[in-house]
Amino acid sequence: MLYREAGQFKASYQEDQQIFPIRQDKLGFIAILGFFFVVLPLIASEYWLQAILIPVLIFSLAAIGLNILTGYAGQLSLGSAAFMAVGAFGAYNFILRIDGMPFIVALLLGGLCAAAVGVAFGLPSLRIKGFYLAVATLAAQFFIVWALVKFPWFSNNSSSGVITAQHVEILGFAFDTPVLKYLLTLAIVAVLALVAKNLVRSTTGRGWMAVRDMDVAAEVIGIRPMRAKLTAFAVSSFYCGVAGALYAYTYLGTVEPEGFNLDLSFKILFMIIIGGVGSIMGSFLGAAFIVLLPIFLNVAMHALFAGSMPAGLGSNLELIIFGGLIIFFLIVEPHGLARLWQIGKEKMRLWPFPH
Amino acid sequence: MKLKHTALIGATIAGLLATGYAVAASEQFIGLPSYRVGPFGSNGASLYGGWIDYMAMVNERDGGINGVKLTWEECETEYNNARGVECYERLKTKGATGNTVFQPLSTGITYSVLEKVAQDKIPMVTIGYGRTDAADGRVFPWVFPMISTYWTQASAIINYLGTKEGGMDKLKGKKIGLLYHDSAYGKESHAILDKLAAKHGFTVEKLAVANPGNEQQAQWLQIRQMKPDYVILWGWGVMNATALRTAAKTGYPREKVVGVWWSGSEEDTIPAGDAAKGYTAAGFNVAGANYPVVQDIKKHVYTKNKGNMEDKERVGTVLYNRGVVHGIITVEAIRKAQEKYGKGKSLTGEQVRWGFENLDLDNKRLTALGAAGFMPDLKITCADHEGGGKVKFQQWDGTKWKVVTDWIEGDKSVVRPMIEESAAAYAKEKGITPRDCTKEM
């Protein structure tokens, strides 16, 4: 009854192919966007904006990037954090070295740098698959971080390799408060997510999925695996690169190459596994889960056991519960949170007459 | 019945949450961005344990600072920059007057919040780590890299090696190996050692160890080939014990290995076993539980079973005592600020910043605190946010640290101009006008 679709007729292919063919979905999505764009900036505290919402959005973008490569094109990658680093250091150097470089252009150029590096490290994917490819992308992870530390030019000869992001200014308007930074991040993430959603529904995206499902068969029906794989690497790295630049500019403010280590790559991989491999929405759900859960556990531990438990035990318990919950979710729903939502939606569409 | 039940549960939960806010009228809140898990968890546990114990002791013994109770809350950072920023934002507004001081014990987190602390008016104290050029208080009014920065320490180590050789001129032609953690922290050593090498005529051979540093065979084989006269160990966590063990395996005498203060704790030497014997390390505080301040903690906190350390044996270790030093400096700064802004009042971060900037811990005050010889004397000014710049060297005899030198000072004539130059470059990049210290009060 909640999801009554009676009377919604599709009279053209265009109507049938839109992102949200069901009216309730469309309205719900607009309501969610409205909530995040209008209501949250009004009610959320600085802490929520700066420490929770911005990182969730940025990691969602990185997870979309990895999802394009791993979820849609089937190429396992462990180098997402390194591509983020390329984006961050790329944008930094463009703004530093070119006078009057607009922020958005620098952001996109940083993403393009990451895309170029991604294509270079994606070349082995033409020959090797699966776990072997994962190891090849691991090389990207270590090489890029090493290179950023090794050559002081990247960090403008900073003695410690740390870069401090310049102030964000677009058309003379300074984005310096948490609310403005949040809105900027949200706008960029929303636009890029929309592009990604349409990309995976297009010829390119279908090519990726064909290669993922069986590359020999894809070749037989006329899809060029080289082109599909390398575009997947390029687009994926571009997304990671933009996420990295946002990480530096709207979230942390200062970054060091060491911060983009293998742990971060794994974290992004966990996000898409928990959220749902091969789902744009899953990227958001997974990022929210991985970023928010440890913080929630930390706060909950303090609220419940403050003083009555040794602090070391509490910290370790958080990790144990976090790991336990990940395993629990994977057992209950191996296809991730996005699949849970899909099942729930199907049930709601049939409710109350499931038969 | 059911409604009553629900109401009861609701009331209990509300009560639980409310207890957190029902605090005494005057309190001074200190947010602790601690870490007790991860590769550096045991280091964090000792240091924050010592700090918490000292604050608990001040509350128990003196009833707080002039009647103002110290309150605190921990937030787990896992030594991770993003979590550190989250903790900073979370702790910022807690307590009656917000967070008093932020001390993350991580160079990475220090960099991440460097600009935020100035906006939020919360002082950040980084004792023995963090951004070196922040010692120039004219450019960085809100950051205090106290006691000694990395550069001063490197210079003090060279001075120590000089006295060991029998004079600084004897260092000419010597070869010194630098085994460093390949990160922002490890790379802090490069600029200063190059400068000192040029001044004293020795050569520096830099060898990077990738994080976390549990594989160093290649580096030590290189050291064996180069035969340096000394090796400076600039490591952290698991890297230190591995370095000592690998040194023993490749036959490099540990007497010639000198560690920095983050490489010189029981957490580093005990896991290395016999391989650590004879190893020397710098420290701005010494080990030992016989100092009156540590005895007071035992008496007022541990006999009442309120101690923070799970393993009481670790009370009096190097890192625990370093935590006590953090506690002393924090408490004394609040005390100093109360003299200006009103005794017995909760102070804001901005007011406590004044306390840090005018902190003067001379030997008389340290004796009164029971910490004479425990930490160096310290005087902070508007321009100089570093203060002392003195370290002692301790040697591991197989079971405990033994102090082998008096306080050794770094070469300020070399370090200070470097700090000012670097800070000026930062000020230029960021468009900061340095404060005029003659007008500060």
A89-136 confidence digits (pLDDT tens): 999 999 999 988 899 999 999 999 999 999 999 999 888 888 899 999
- Whether A146 shows a pLDDT value over 70: the answer reads yes
- The mean pLDDT value for B338-360 works out to 91
Taking CB atoms and an 8 Å limit, are B115 and A253 in contact across chains?
yes
Point out the residue among A46, A160, A311 whose CB comes nearest to the CB of B187: A160
Per-residue model confidence (pLDDT) at position A149: 83
Point out the residue among B45, B82, B184 whose CB comes nearest to the CB of A160: B184
- Whether B419 shows a pLDDT value over 60: the answer reads yes
d(CA B178, CA A300): 44
- Whether A319 shows a pLDDT value over 80: the answer reads yes
To 10 degrees, what angle do helices A80-97 and A130-150 make? 30
- Give domain status of residue A307, yes or no: no
pLDDT higher for A257 or A236?
A: A236
Taking CB atoms and an 8 Å limit, are B108 and A316 in contact across chains?
no
- Whether B386 shows a pLDDT value over 80: the answer reads yes
- Chain B partners within 8 Å of A47 (Cβ): 89-90, 92-93
Q: Work out the angle at residue B179's Cα, subtended by the Cα atoms of residues B176 and B181, and round it to the nearest 5 degrees.
A: 150
- Whether B16 shows a pLDDT value over 50: the answer reads no
Per-residue model confidence (pLDDT) at position B229: 93
- B421-440 pLDDT, tens per residue? 989 988 888 888 888 888 77
Taking CB atoms and an 8 Å limit, are B93 and A318 in contact across chains?
no
Superfamily of segment(s) B25-148+289-389:
Response regulator (3.40.50.2300)
- Whether B393 shows a pLDDT value over 90: the answer reads yes
- B167-177 pLDDT, tens per residue? 888 899 999 99
- Give domain status of residue A62, yes or no: yes
pLDDT higher for A160 or B151?
A: B151
- Give domain status of residue A299, yes or no: no
Taking CB atoms and an 8 Å limit, are A298 and B73 in contact across chains?
no
In this structure, CATH architecture of domain B150-283: 3-Layer(aba) Sandwich (3.40)
Per-residue model confidence (pLDDT) at position B11: 47
- Burial class (CB within 10 angstroms; exposed 0-12, middle 13-18, buried 19+) of A203: exposed
Q: Work out the angle at residue B309's Cα, subtended by the Cα atoms of residues B308 and B313, and round it to the nearest 5 degrees.
A: 150
How is residue B70 annotated by DSSP?
E
Tell me the pLDDT band of A1, cut-offs 50, 70 and 90: low
For the complex shown, is ipTM > 0.90? no
Per-residue model confidence (pLDDT) at position A166: 86
- Give domain status of residue A97, yes or no: yes
CB A238 within 8 A of CB A114: yes
Asked which of A36-45, A128-137, B8-17, B204-213 is least confident by mean pLDDT, the reply is B8-17
Taking CB atoms and an 8 Å limit, are B85 and A256 in contact across chains?
no
- CA distances (Å), origin A28, targets A20, A56, B202: 10, 21, 70
- Kindly state the percentage of chain A with pLDDT values over 90: 57
Do strands B257-259 and B360-361 pair parallel, antiparallel, or not at all (unpaired)? unpaired
CATH 3.40.50.2300 domain span(s) along chain B: 25-148+289-389, 150-283
How many structural domains is chain A composed of? 1
Per-residue model confidence (pLDDT) at position B306: 83
Do strands B124-125 and A254-255 pair parallel, antiparallel, or not at all (unpaired)? unpaired
- A7-20 pLDDT, tens per residue? 888 889 888 888 88
pLDDT higher for A354 or A228?
A: A228
Domain span including residue A236 = 37-261
- Whether B9 shows a pLDDT value over 90: the answer reads no
- Give domain status of residue A230, yes or no: yes
Per-residue model confidence (pLDDT) at position B312: 85
Per-residue model confidence (pLDDT) at position A355: 66
Q: Which residues of B312-341 are buried (b: 16+ CB within 10 A; e: fewer)?
A: eebbbbbbbbbbbbbbbbbbbbbbbbbeeb
- The mean pLDDT value for B72-80 works out to 88
Per-residue model confidence (pLDDT) at position B132: 86
- Whether A255 shows a pLDDT value over 80: the answer reads yes
Per-residue model confidence (pLDDT) at position B18: 43
Per-residue model confidence (pLDDT) at position B14: 46
